Amino acid sequence: MLPTLYTLTGNLLWERTLEFSAWSPGKTQRAKSESVQVGGKGINVSRMLTRLGAPTTALCFAGGSAGADCVSWLTTKDIAHHAFPSTAATRSGTVVRGGAQPETTFLGPDAAPDAAAWAACADYLDSLPDGQVLALCGSFPGWVAPAAEPLRSALARWTARGSLTADTYGPPLDWALQRPLALVKINRDEFDTLSPETERNQSVSSRLPAALARSRTEAWIVTDGCDPVWYADRSNPARQFFPPQVPLVSPTGSGDVLFACLLHAHFQRQLPWPEALAFALPFAAANAASPGIAEFDLNNLPA
Protein backbone atom coordinates (compact mmCIF):
# COMPACT_ATOMS: atom_id res chain seq x y z
CA MET A 1 0.00 0.00 0.00
CA LEU A 2 1.38 3.40 -0.97
CA PRO A 3 2.23 5.78 1.88
CA THR A 4 0.25 8.99 2.09
CA LEU A 5 2.27 12.16 1.50
CA TYR A 6 1.27 14.68 4.16
CA THR A 7 2.25 18.30 3.65
CA LEU A 8 2.33 20.78 6.52
CA THR A 9 1.88 24.45 5.61
CA GLY A 10 2.73 26.80 8.44
CA ASN A 11 1.74 30.02 6.68
CA LEU A 12 -1.44 29.60 4.65
CA LEU A 13 -2.32 32.23 2.03
CA TRP A 14 -5.57 33.42 0.48
CA GLU A 15 -4.29 34.81 -2.80
CA ARG A 16 -5.87 36.95 -5.52
CA THR A 17 -4.21 37.26 -8.95
CA LEU A 18 -4.89 40.35 -11.06
CA GLU A 19 -4.10 40.20 -14.79
CA PHE A 20 -3.32 43.44 -16.65
CA SER A 21 -2.62 44.27 -20.27
CA ALA A 22 -0.15 46.81 -18.86
CA TRP A 23 0.40 48.41 -15.47
CA SER A 24 2.80 50.78 -13.77
CA PRO A 25 3.24 52.00 -10.19
CA GLY A 26 1.70 55.27 -9.00
CA LYS A 27 -1.68 55.26 -10.72
CA THR A 28 -5.06 53.54 -10.62
CA GLN A 29 -5.04 50.30 -12.58
CA ARG A 30 -7.95 48.28 -13.95
CA ALA A 31 -7.39 44.54 -14.32
CA LYS A 32 -8.68 42.63 -17.31
CA SER A 33 -9.31 39.53 -15.19
CA GLU A 34 -8.86 38.13 -11.69
CA SER A 35 -8.71 34.76 -10.03
CA VAL A 36 -8.34 33.43 -6.50
CA GLN A 37 -6.49 30.46 -5.11
CA VAL A 38 -5.01 29.10 -1.91
CA GLY A 39 -1.24 29.44 -1.58
CA GLY A 40 1.48 28.27 0.72
CA LYS A 41 4.19 25.76 -0.20
CA GLY A 42 2.51 22.70 1.24
CA ILE A 43 -0.78 23.51 -0.45
CA ASN A 44 1.01 23.80 -3.80
CA VAL A 45 2.76 20.47 -3.20
CA SER A 46 -0.48 18.67 -2.35
CA ARG A 47 -2.15 20.37 -5.31
CA MET A 48 0.43 18.87 -7.67
CA LEU A 49 0.27 15.48 -5.96
CA THR A 50 -3.50 15.49 -6.38
CA ARG A 51 -3.07 16.07 -10.12
CA LEU A 52 -0.72 13.08 -10.24
CA GLY A 53 -3.31 10.95 -8.50
CA ALA A 54 -0.97 10.44 -5.55
CA PRO A 55 -2.36 9.89 -2.03
CA THR A 56 -1.87 13.18 -0.19
CA THR A 57 -3.37 15.27 2.60
CA ALA A 58 -2.62 18.96 3.07
CA LEU A 59 -2.34 20.05 6.71
CA CYS A 60 -2.62 23.75 7.53
CA PHE A 61 -3.62 26.36 10.11
CA ALA A 62 -6.67 28.45 9.19
CA GLY A 63 -8.20 31.47 10.91
CA GLY A 64 -10.67 34.25 10.22
CA SER A 65 -12.69 34.79 7.05
CA ALA A 66 -9.64 34.27 4.81
CA GLY A 67 -8.99 30.94 6.51
CA ALA A 68 -12.61 29.88 5.96
CA ASP A 69 -12.30 30.84 2.28
CA CYS A 70 -9.13 28.72 2.03
CA VAL A 71 -10.85 25.66 3.47
CA SER A 72 -13.81 26.13 1.12
CA TRP A 73 -11.46 26.43 -1.89
CA LEU A 74 -9.58 23.26 -0.94
CA THR A 75 -12.88 21.41 -0.65
CA THR A 76 -14.05 22.69 -4.03
CA LYS A 77 -10.78 21.60 -5.66
CA ASP A 78 -11.05 18.10 -4.13
CA ILE A 79 -7.70 18.47 -2.37
CA ALA A 80 -7.73 16.28 0.72
CA HIS A 81 -6.94 18.46 3.71
CA HIS A 82 -7.16 18.92 7.46
CA ALA A 83 -7.20 22.48 8.77
CA PHE A 84 -6.46 23.30 12.41
CA PRO A 85 -8.54 26.31 13.51
CA SER A 86 -6.64 29.28 14.93
CA THR A 87 -7.65 32.65 16.29
CA ALA A 88 -4.85 34.16 14.17
CA ALA A 89 -6.31 35.32 10.86
CA THR A 90 -4.91 33.68 7.72
CA ARG A 91 -2.85 36.12 5.66
CA SER A 92 -3.97 37.35 2.25
CA GLY A 93 -1.96 38.39 -0.77
CA THR A 94 -2.19 39.79 -4.29
CA VAL A 95 -0.27 38.79 -7.40
CA VAL A 96 -0.04 41.44 -10.14
CA ARG A 97 0.81 40.11 -13.58
CA GLY A 98 0.90 41.37 -17.16
CA GLY A 99 2.48 43.90 -19.50
CA ALA A 100 6.16 44.78 -19.42
CA GLN A 101 6.40 44.80 -15.62
CA PRO A 102 7.71 41.65 -13.91
CA GLU A 103 5.20 39.60 -11.97
CA THR A 104 4.91 41.09 -8.47
CA THR A 105 3.45 39.55 -5.30
CA PHE A 106 2.21 41.54 -2.31
CA LEU A 107 1.77 39.56 0.93
CA GLY A 108 -0.05 40.45 4.10
CA PRO A 109 1.66 40.11 7.49
CA ASP A 110 2.46 36.68 8.87
CA ALA A 111 0.49 35.43 11.85
CA ALA A 112 1.57 32.57 14.13
CA PRO A 113 -1.02 29.90 15.00
CA ASP A 114 -2.35 30.02 18.53
CA ALA A 115 -1.41 27.43 21.17
CA ALA A 116 -4.55 25.35 20.58
CA ALA A 117 -3.80 25.08 16.86
CA TRP A 118 -0.19 23.94 17.46
CA ALA A 119 -1.44 21.32 19.94
CA ALA A 120 -4.21 20.11 17.62
CA CYS A 121 -1.70 19.59 14.82
CA ALA A 122 0.58 17.63 17.16
CA ASP A 123 -2.29 15.40 18.27
CA TYR A 124 -3.28 14.75 14.66
CA LEU A 125 0.25 13.71 13.67
CA ASP A 126 0.49 11.39 16.66
CA SER A 127 -2.76 9.71 15.58
CA LEU A 128 -1.53 8.79 12.09
CA PRO A 129 -0.29 5.28 11.31
CA ASP A 130 3.41 4.50 11.02
CA GLY A 131 5.19 4.47 7.67
CA GLN A 132 3.79 7.72 6.26
CA VAL A 133 5.67 10.68 4.76
CA LEU A 134 5.52 14.24 6.07
CA ALA A 135 6.87 17.35 4.33
CA LEU A 136 7.55 20.58 6.24
CA CYS A 137 6.79 23.32 3.74
CA GLY A 138 7.54 27.04 3.73
CA SER A 139 7.74 29.41 6.67
CA PHE A 140 6.36 28.72 10.17
CA PRO A 141 5.69 31.95 12.06
CA GLY A 142 6.06 31.39 15.79
CA TRP A 143 8.14 28.22 15.39
CA VAL A 144 10.48 28.96 18.30
CA ALA A 145 7.70 30.09 20.68
CA PRO A 146 6.86 27.88 23.69
CA ALA A 147 3.35 27.45 22.27
CA ALA A 148 4.82 25.49 19.33
CA GLU A 149 6.60 22.96 21.55
CA PRO A 150 3.82 20.30 21.18
CA LEU A 151 4.31 20.29 17.42
CA ARG A 152 8.09 20.20 17.63
CA SER A 153 7.83 17.22 19.99
CA ALA A 154 5.37 15.43 17.72
CA LEU A 155 7.69 15.92 14.74
CA ALA A 156 10.60 14.48 16.72
CA ARG A 157 8.46 11.42 17.46
CA TRP A 158 7.48 11.24 13.78
CA THR A 159 11.09 10.68 12.70
CA ALA A 160 11.09 7.35 14.58
CA ARG A 161 8.05 6.00 12.75
CA GLY A 162 7.84 7.74 9.37
CA SER A 163 9.82 9.78 6.83
CA LEU A 164 10.35 13.50 7.36
CA THR A 165 11.33 15.83 4.50
CA ALA A 166 11.78 19.59 4.42
CA ASP A 167 11.41 22.48 2.02
CA THR A 168 11.61 25.21 4.63
CA TYR A 169 14.06 27.80 5.93
CA GLY A 170 15.04 29.80 9.00
CA PRO A 171 14.33 28.37 12.47
CA PRO A 172 12.26 25.37 11.24
CA LEU A 173 15.11 24.26 8.97
CA ASP A 174 17.69 24.78 11.72
CA TRP A 175 15.56 22.55 13.95
CA ALA A 176 14.96 19.93 11.26
CA LEU A 177 18.64 19.61 10.35
CA GLN A 178 19.30 18.24 13.81
CA ARG A 179 16.90 15.34 13.11
CA PRO A 180 17.05 12.44 10.64
CA LEU A 181 15.59 13.71 7.37
CA ALA A 182 15.02 11.81 4.15
CA LEU A 183 15.45 14.94 2.01
CA VAL A 184 16.11 18.65 2.17
CA LYS A 185 15.03 20.60 -0.90
CA ILE A 186 16.16 24.22 -0.70
CA ASN A 187 16.79 27.12 -3.06
CA ARG A 188 20.22 28.65 -3.56
CA ASP A 189 19.56 31.82 -1.53
CA GLU A 190 18.37 29.81 1.46
CA PHE A 191 21.25 27.35 1.10
CA ASP A 192 23.71 30.25 1.19
CA THR A 193 22.44 31.33 4.61
CA LEU A 194 23.59 27.98 6.03
CA SER A 195 27.23 28.80 5.19
CA PRO A 196 29.45 31.36 6.93
CA GLU A 197 29.35 34.64 5.05
CA THR A 198 33.00 34.27 4.05
CA GLU A 199 32.20 30.99 2.24
CA ARG A 200 29.07 32.02 0.34
CA ASN A 201 31.04 32.87 -2.80
CA GLN A 202 32.20 29.25 -3.02
CA SER A 203 30.44 26.83 -5.35
CA VAL A 204 27.45 24.83 -4.17
CA SER A 205 29.28 21.61 -5.02
CA SER A 206 32.14 22.47 -2.64
CA ARG A 207 29.73 23.27 0.21
CA LEU A 208 27.31 20.36 -0.12
CA PRO A 209 29.65 17.83 1.56
CA ALA A 210 29.84 20.10 4.60
CA ALA A 211 26.05 20.43 4.66
CA LEU A 212 25.76 16.64 4.62
CA ALA A 213 28.35 16.31 7.37
CA ARG A 214 26.63 18.87 9.62
CA SER A 215 23.18 17.31 9.21
CA ARG A 216 21.51 13.93 9.53
CA THR A 217 19.96 14.23 6.08
CA GLU A 218 19.98 11.45 3.50
CA ALA A 219 19.96 13.72 0.43
CA TRP A 220 20.16 17.41 -0.47
CA ILE A 221 18.72 19.18 -3.52
CA VAL A 222 19.58 22.83 -4.15
CA THR A 223 17.62 24.71 -6.82
CA ASP A 224 18.62 28.00 -8.44
CA GLY A 225 15.75 29.31 -10.55
CA CYS A 226 16.12 28.20 -14.15
CA ASP A 227 19.77 27.22 -13.61
CA PRO A 228 20.94 23.64 -13.06
CA VAL A 229 19.91 21.85 -9.87
CA TRP A 230 22.53 20.45 -7.50
CA TYR A 231 22.11 17.03 -5.91
CA ALA A 232 24.21 15.15 -3.34
CA ASP A 233 23.71 12.31 -0.89
CA ARG A 234 25.88 10.32 1.50
CA SER A 235 26.92 7.86 -1.21
CA ASN A 236 27.26 10.15 -4.22
CA PRO A 237 29.25 13.37 -4.73
CA ALA A 238 27.53 16.59 -5.73
CA ARG A 239 26.40 16.73 -9.34
CA GLN A 240 24.19 18.88 -11.50
CA PHE A 241 20.89 18.09 -13.17
CA PHE A 242 19.80 20.30 -16.06
CA PRO A 243 16.11 21.25 -16.33
CA PRO A 244 14.46 21.55 -19.75
CA GLN A 245 14.73 25.04 -21.21
CA VAL A 246 11.31 26.65 -21.60
CA PRO A 247 9.94 30.16 -22.19
CA LEU A 248 9.44 31.58 -18.71
CA VAL A 249 5.86 32.67 -18.02
CA SER A 250 5.65 32.49 -14.21
CA PRO A 251 8.17 30.86 -11.86
CA THR A 252 5.67 30.91 -8.97
CA GLY A 253 5.18 27.46 -7.50
CA SER A 254 7.68 25.67 -9.75
CA GLY A 255 9.86 24.68 -6.79
CA ASP A 256 6.77 23.28 -5.07
CA VAL A 257 5.86 21.28 -8.18
CA LEU A 258 9.41 19.93 -8.23
CA PHE A 259 9.15 18.93 -4.56
CA ALA A 260 5.80 17.20 -5.12
CA CYS A 261 7.09 15.16 -8.04
CA LEU A 262 10.27 14.27 -6.12
CA LEU A 263 8.23 12.92 -3.20
CA HIS A 264 5.86 11.02 -5.47
CA ALA A 265 8.70 9.49 -7.52
CA HIS A 266 10.78 8.42 -4.51
CA PHE A 267 8.22 7.32 -1.93
CA GLN A 268 5.41 6.08 -4.15
CA ARG A 269 7.17 5.04 -7.36
CA GLN A 270 10.18 3.75 -5.40
CA LEU A 271 12.78 5.56 -7.53
CA PRO A 272 16.18 6.46 -6.05
CA TRP A 273 16.59 10.19 -5.38
CA PRO A 274 18.67 10.91 -8.53
CA GLU A 275 16.11 9.21 -10.76
CA ALA A 276 13.31 10.93 -8.86
CA LEU A 277 14.94 14.30 -9.59
CA ALA A 278 15.26 13.49 -13.29
CA PHE A 279 11.57 12.53 -13.26
CA ALA A 280 10.53 15.75 -11.51
CA LEU A 281 12.42 18.39 -13.52
CA PRO A 282 10.19 18.38 -16.64
CA PHE A 283 7.13 18.96 -14.46
CA ALA A 284 8.75 21.97 -12.77
CA ALA A 285 9.77 23.38 -16.16
CA ALA A 286 6.24 22.93 -17.51
CA ASN A 287 4.92 24.84 -14.51
CA ALA A 288 7.34 27.71 -15.16
CA ALA A 289 6.05 27.89 -18.74
CA SER A 290 2.46 28.17 -17.48
CA PRO A 291 0.67 31.09 -15.75
CA GLY A 292 -0.87 28.97 -12.97
CA ILE A 293 0.40 26.54 -10.35
CA ALA A 294 0.12 22.83 -11.18
CA GLU A 295 -2.33 23.61 -13.98
CA PHE A 296 -0.20 22.69 -17.00
CA ASP A 297 -0.87 19.85 -19.46
CA LEU A 298 0.53 16.67 -17.95
CA ASN A 299 0.64 15.07 -21.40
CA ASN A 300 2.80 17.79 -22.94
CA LEU A 301 5.90 17.99 -20.76
CA PRO A 302 9.07 19.59 -22.16
CA ALA A 303 11.79 17.18 -23.21
Question: pTM value?
Answer: 0.93
> What pLDDT shows up at residue 101?
84
- The residue ranges of the chain whose pLDDT is under 50 are none
What is the per-residue pLDDT for 26? 85
What are the residue ranges spanned by the domains of the chain? 5-20+33-288
What CATH number matches the domain at 5-20+33-288, 3.40.50.1110, 3.40.50.300, 3.40.50.920, 3.40.1190.20? 3.40.1190.20
User: Given this model, what pLDDT does residue 27 score?
Assistant: 84
d(CA 41, CA 85): 19
State residue 198's pLDDT score.
Answer: 86
